[in-house]
Amino acid sequence: MLRAIIVFLLIAIVVSLVVGYVFFYKDQGRSKRVMYALGIRVTLAIILMICVFYGITTGQLNFGAPWS
């Protein structure tokens, strides 16, 4: 379940990055929509770091290669 949340957050960060680029391209940097997209992206990144830290401390996520 935690891995699915992490994958969802990664996808949401990429979507927010694309949306921010589209806003920047259309508005040419004159609106606050780019800053809102940046704020959402930073918030998602912080939540992602918290989830990874939680997964490592509880043992749900391991270090190392998955094939070994």
Contact in structure between 2 and 51 (CB atoms under 8 Å) = yes
pLDDT of residue 68: 65
Number of Cβ within 10 Å of residue 24's Cβ equals 16
Tell me how far apart the alpha carbons of residues 29 and 27 are, in angstroms, rounded to a whole number.
5
pLDDT of residue 49: 97
Q: What is the mean pLDDT of each run of 10 residues along the chain (68 residues)?
A: 94 94 83 87 96 93 78
